[in-house]
Amino acid sequence: MRDTVRGWIREARHIAVLTGAGMSAESGVPTFRDAQTGLWSKFNPQDLATEAAFRAHPQRVWDWYAHRREMIDRVEPNAGHVALATYALRHPGRLTLITQNVDGLHQRAGSVDVLALHGNIAEDQWLDAPRACCQVDAIEAGHPPRCQVCGNLRRPAVVWFGEHLSAATLEVAELAARDCNLMLVVGTSGEVYPAAGLALIAHQCGARVVIVNPEPTPLDAVAEQCLPEPAAVCLPQLLL
């Protein structure tokens, strides 16, 4: 099966890659549930990852994200992340990388122009629409930091429950799904939309879809090939 997929990769004019939480888990990135240790074990993560929770308890939510950032800082990109970055470097303009992950491991591995559908946990943004006084070089430190003039809070630059994905990022991802000849779907459950819908778009537009996942997924039904392997094992063998 790998040989067949390698041939498709060689033939493809444009490859789109969609990655999910399973790929990060191979590096040891804790899931939402795994992050609920110690002090945080009494909280439901879905009750923390919302705008309403942040407005009600900004320090609590900020500190929980600081805890998650510390956990992510302790892990490294795996061989799958490196394989994608290396392939894109060798073949400029041929691969579009789309990820549901917020951990930044693709970027740390050397991938550029990553379409991070759900944002990046290492970055911050303003909670409310910034005013003229909201300048990143004049932020008052705190938990969370804030504008020292109007008090506008900084928040993690991730998509919380109940929020929409960045329309611009999603549009570019959908264009890549329509344009690609081959889509690799790596380490994603295939259950979170609209991200999972990108594989359906690619399939409907005539692209081959290949699933790389040790576990079955709902997207297997539209796949030309399913490779039941971890990304760190499979991708370096595919992207030679």
Question: Considering the chain, what is the average pLDDT of its residues?
Answer: 93
pLDDT of residue 1: 78
Give the pLDDT band of residue 37 (cuts 50, 70, 90): low
Question: 222 pLDDT exceeds 80?
Answer: yes
**pLDDT score, position 44:** 73
Residue 194, amino acid: P
Check pLDDT > 70 for residue 87: yes
What residues are paired with 209 via a beta bridge? 183
Per-residue pLDDT at 47: 77
CATH 3.40.50.1220 intervals, the chain: 2-29+77-118+165-238
- Per-residue pLDDT at 48: 85
Class of domain 2-29+77-118+165-238: alpha beta
**Six-digit token string for 121:** 């946990």
| β-sheet bridge partners, residue 211 | 185, 226
Q: Considering the candidates 14, 67, 81, 118, report the single residue annotated as catalytic.
A: 118
Summarised one tens digit per residue, pLDDT across range 126-154 is 999 999 999 988 899 999 999 999 999 99
- Residues forming CATH 3.30.1600.10 domain(s) in the chain: 30-74+123-158
Q: Which residues of 193-203 are buried (b: 16+ CB within 10 A; e: fewer)?
A: eebbbbbbbbb
pLDDT tops 90 at residue 240: no
Tell me the Ramachandran region of residue 108: left when phi exceeds 0, alpha when psi lies from -120 to 50, beta otherwise: alpha
Inform me whether the pLDDT recorded for 31 exceeds 70.
no
Query: 144 preceded by cis ω (within 30°)?
Result: yes
118 is catalytic: yes
From 8, 81, 88, select the one nearest 230 (Cα to Cα). 81
* Rounded Cα–Cα distance for residues 109 and 81 (Å): 6
Residue 217 has pLDDT above 90, yes or no: yes
30-74+123-158 CATH pick, 3.60.21.10, 3.30.1600.10, 3.40.50.2300, 1.20.1370.10? 3.30.1600.10
